[in-house]
Chain A
């Protein structure tokens, strides 16, 4: 099955990094949607119930990561799609708040392609057991 992903991040550099990550190894051939803020990202989440995984940056203008998580939970939108909160080292409290707001896991910057691949394979395995 073709996998699709959503990246919500306000950094163009990070978009490019995700492009690299999703074009290599086991992730090659994936479809990736990009949003530059939470608002736009939420719209894409609504439109794509088939997403394998969402990578959500914490700090963004126009709806930050936590707000996206909270709204998604309040509206009960696609609860089957795992959302990974992307944080930086030293933001343990944010990670805790993210988890509380419904993040499936978190990914700390700096990360490498292997970290994302691992998250994806876990998400796929989990999807297979719950489906």
Chain B
């Protein structure tokens, strides 16, 4: 028999999508179980609620011929079965066995492949077997005999079993496909435009009618291809969240704190490219919260709070984006210390009205911890986290209340391949400004923009912000023939800046195409796109424009 010939090999991704959230819920539940046992809670309900999920993971892994995952799930089922029957067995040894097994199972499902190294699974199964034998001084070998892993594999001789049906695709190929699709979309709009021109010239006829139908059908097909391709790129956010239960447990232990992690929304889908780039910033926020956010147990008790801190990690889709929250019920941010530190760095923060605390903490060099911990810190501040999120086209915000806790809110695009944008016109050229960074669009009133040190400045929401000419900034071919009528206020991480434009065209989802290197565009353009009417538009790199603008003060 060979696992490579499993008839469902091509469904590997479907398997991961369906089983990973289950396996991770199981892994999380084991961490929770350990915690509750330590508190003397038997947690029977939790043990019972696990059974169905383990069973499903086991069954599906078996169907897929993924023997290591199947065997680990089975061993965990057996261990849970034994624990359900007898509360006196619920000791630390059992708990760490389950925690390790849950983590291993999630890993095996996450990295599911027919050629996965079977050694870790085999050694875990052996560990469970030894533990069970020690617990039950009866019938060694009961466990292996109950295993029916190979019962049916190999009996399949129907069909073309020899074809290796597992397809693993390098992510760059998906990018390349998207690039080609982009070309297709451009060609389609050119075709549609030509058709419209022809129709104007010749008037209605049968051939034209058929051409019209073909163009419309082609457009629909390309749209379908686009959404299929986008779906292929999406993975549940639990592929990142799954790393947290164990990491929180270890970090909290290292910091001598007791922290309980509550997660939700792990099934929320995100483009793999976004996931890859958001996992480091998230890990950083989480370890920050544990090391700096939570008080010591003594301090918590003194403040009348539960000794155990609660860390919440939530994800949810919201209006075409994904919002992730990392919240602790710790001490909150120390406003005074942060202001003092900021002054020391020369930021001259004046008052809360001028620069809110939540903008200050994302400034470079701002870390209020006295010493850098081995776990968090690492010399990397929130400015790096914020920078990484902004570079993704995301935003980060913080809410904090002294003694109550701190919550960071990240808003991320579902994909980097399509960006929801505001289309503006400057000197008869069109530009796409990612909506994530658009705070407001304002009609220019006479005399509201003054010049200070050769830079335009205006009052916006009670604050002074710089306003730059869009044409000069983005290098349009022609200069302005009349005064600009609007400015777009762009914002990220407490930095704000206005960009003067001639016209606001509307909102549109644009497919990002790489930048043609020969174009010689300024560095404040991050890519190009094709608009609905077939025109090429540059995508404005709002973060870069803002970074080139003012810092605090």
- Which A residues contact B (CB, under 8 angstroms)? 11-13, 16-17, 20-21, 24-26, 59, 88-89, 109-115, 117
Is residue B15 contacting chain A, with contact meaning CB distance below 8 A?
yes
Q: Contacts A17-B8, A21-B7: A110 and B63 contacting too (C-beta < 8 A)?
A: yes
Determine if B11 and A109 form an interchain contact, defined as CB atoms under 8 angstroms apart: no
Determine if A114 and B18 form an interchain contact, defined as CB atoms under 8 angstroms apart: no
Determine if A109 and B62 form an interchain contact, defined as CB atoms under 8 angstroms apart: yes
Residues in B whose Cβ lies below 8 Å from that of A13:
11, 14-15, 17-19, 60
Determine if A24 and B62 form an interchain contact, defined as CB atoms under 8 angstroms apart: no
Determine if B8 and A24 form an interchain contact, defined as CB atoms under 8 angstroms apart: no
Interface residues of B in 1-29 (CB under 8 A from A): 7-8, 10-11, 14-15, 17-19
Determine if A26 and B11 form an interchain contact, defined as CB atoms under 8 angstroms apart: no
- The secondary-structure label for the interface of chain B is helix
Determine if A112 and B11 form an interchain contact, defined as CB atoms under 8 angstroms apart: no
Range for the number of chain B residues in contact with chain A: 20 to 34
Determine if B11 and A20 form an interchain contact, defined as CB atoms under 8 angstroms apart: yes
Determine if B18 and A88 form an interchain contact, defined as CB atoms under 8 angstroms apart: no
Q: Determine the distance from Cα of A109 to Cα of B70 in the docked complex, in whole angstroms.
A: 12
Partner of A114, one of B10, B148, B155, B160: B155
| Min distance, Cβ B61 to any Cβ of chain A, angstroms | 8
Question: Can you list 9 pairs linking A and B with CB atoms under 8 Å apart?
Answer: A12-B18, A13-B18, A24-B159, A109-B62, A110-B63, A111-B152, A112-B7, A112-B152, A114-B155
| Min distance, Cβ B271 to any Cβ of chain A, angstroms | 20
Determine if B63 and A111 form an interchain contact, defined as CB atoms under 8 angstroms apart: yes
Is residue B547 contacting chain A, with contact meaning CB distance below 8 A?
no
Complex: chain B residue closest to A118, CB-CB = B158
Determine if A113 and B159 form an interchain contact, defined as CB atoms under 8 angstroms apart: yes
| Min distance, Cβ B153 to any Cβ of chain A, angstroms | 8
Is residue B209 contacting chain A, with contact meaning CB distance below 8 A?
no
Complex: chain A residue closest to B154, CB-CB = A112
| Min distance, Cβ A61 to any Cβ of chain B, angstroms | 12
Q: Determine the distance from Cα of A101 to Cα of B52 in the docked complex, in whole angstroms.
A: 23
Is residue B170 contacting chain A, with contact meaning CB distance below 8 A?
no
Closest 6 CB pairs of A and B: A110-B62, A24-B159, A25-B158, A13-B18, A25-B159, A110-B63
Determine if A24 and B59 form an interchain contact, defined as CB atoms under 8 angstroms apart: no
Partner of A89, one of B14, B15, B60, B148: B148
Interface residues of B in 142-173 (CB under 8 A from A): 148, 152-153, 155-160
Q: Determine the distance from Cα of A109 to Cα of B18 in the docked complex, in whole angstroms.
A: 16
- Which B residues contact A (CB, under 8 angstroms)? 7-8, 10-11, 14-15, 17-19, 52, 55-56, 59-60, 62-63, 148, 152-153, 155-160
Complex: chain B residue closest to A115, CB-CB = B152
Residues in A whose Cβ lies below 8 Å from that of B63:
17, 109-111
Determine if B14 and A12 form an interchain contact, defined as CB atoms under 8 angstroms apart: yes
Q: Contacts A16-B14, A20-B10: A26 and B59 contacting too (C-beta < 8 A)?
A: no
Partner of A11, one of B18, B158, B159: B18
Residues in B whose Cβ lies below 8 Å from that of A24:
7, 158-160
Q: Determine the distance from Cα of A91 to Cα of B537 in the docked complex, in whole angstroms.
A: 61
Q: Determine the distance from Cα of A115 to Cα of B155 in the docked complex, in whole angstroms.
A: 9
Q: Determine the distance from Cα of A31 to Cα of B15 in the docked complex, in whole angstroms.
A: 23
Q: Determine the distance from Cα of A78 to Cα of B286 in the docked complex, in whole angstroms.
A: 57
Complex: chain A residue closest to B11, CB-CB = A16
Q: Contacts A12-B14, A13-B11, A20-B7: A113 and B158 contacting too (C-beta < 8 A)?
A: yes
Q: Determine the distance from Cα of A27 to Cα of B428 in the docked complex, in whole angstroms.
A: 61
Complex: chain B residue closest to A23, CB-CB = B159
Q: Determine the distance from Cα of A112 to Cα of B3 in the docked complex, in whole angstroms.
A: 13
Complex: chain B residue closest to A89, CB-CB = B148
Residues in B whose Cβ lies below 8 Å from that of A11:
18, 56, 60
Residues in A whose Cβ lies below 8 Å from that of B157:
114
Residue with the highest number of chain B CB atoms closer than 10 Å, among A12, A113, A115? A113
Determine if B155 and A112 form an interchain contact, defined as CB atoms under 8 angstroms apart: yes
| Min distance, Cβ A84 to any Cβ of chain B, angstroms | 16
| Min distance, Cβ B291 to any Cβ of chain A, angstroms | 39
| Supplied contacts A13-B18, A89-B148, A111-B152, 6 more A-B pairs, CB within 8 Å | A11-B56, A13-B14, A13-B17, A16-B11, A24-B158, A114-B157
Residues in B whose Cβ lies below 8 Å from that of A114:
155-158
Q: Determine the distance from Cα of A114 to Cα of B151 in the docked complex, in whole angstroms.
A: 13
| Min distance, Cβ A29 to any Cβ of chain B, angstroms | 13
| Min distance, Cβ B75 to any Cβ of chain A, angstroms | 15
Complex: chain A residue closest to B9, CB-CB = A20
Determine if B10 and A110 form an interchain contact, defined as CB atoms under 8 angstroms apart: no
| Min distance, Cβ A93 to any Cβ of chain B, angstroms | 15
| Min distance, Cβ A57 to any Cβ of chain B, angstroms | 11
Determine if B59 and A109 form an interchain contact, defined as CB atoms under 8 angstroms apart: yes
Q: Determine the distance from Cα of A109 to Cα of B148 in the docked complex, in whole angstroms.
A: 11
Complex: chain B residue closest to A11, CB-CB = B18
Q: Determine the distance from Cα of A13 to Cα of B57 in the docked complex, in whole angstroms.
A: 11
Partner of A117, one of B148, B153, B158: B158
| Min distance, Cβ B337 to any Cβ of chain A, angstroms | 51
Q: Determine the distance from Cα of A24 to Cα of B8 in the docked complex, in whole angstroms.
A: 12
Determine if A17 and B11 form an interchain contact, defined as CB atoms under 8 angstroms apart: yes
Residues in A whose Cβ lies below 8 Å from that of B155:
112, 114
Residues in B whose Cβ lies below 8 Å from that of A26:
158
Q: Determine the distance from Cα of A107 to Cα of B155 in the docked complex, in whole angstroms.
A: 16
Q: Determine the distance from Cα of A52 to Cα of B56 in the docked complex, in whole angstroms.
A: 28
| Min distance, Cβ A94 to any Cβ of chain B, angstroms | 13
Determine if A110 and B152 form an interchain contact, defined as CB atoms under 8 angstroms apart: yes
Residues in A whose Cβ lies below 8 Å from that of B59:
88, 109-110
Complex: chain A residue closest to B10, CB-CB = A20
| Min distance, Cβ A20 to any Cβ of chain B, angstroms | 6
Q: Determine the distance from Cα of A39 to Cα of B113 in the docked complex, in whole angstroms.
A: 35
Residues in A whose Cβ lies below 8 Å from that of B15:
13
Q: Determine the distance from Cα of A117 to Cα of B157 in the docked complex, in whole angstroms.
A: 12
Q: Determine the distance from Cα of A114 to Cα of B366 in the docked complex, in whole angstroms.
A: 64
Residues in A whose Cβ lies below 8 Å from that of B156:
112-114
Q: Determine the distance from Cα of A13 to Cα of B109 in the docked complex, in whole angstroms.
A: 14
Residue with the highest number of chain A CB atoms closer than 10 Å, among B10, B52, B159? B159
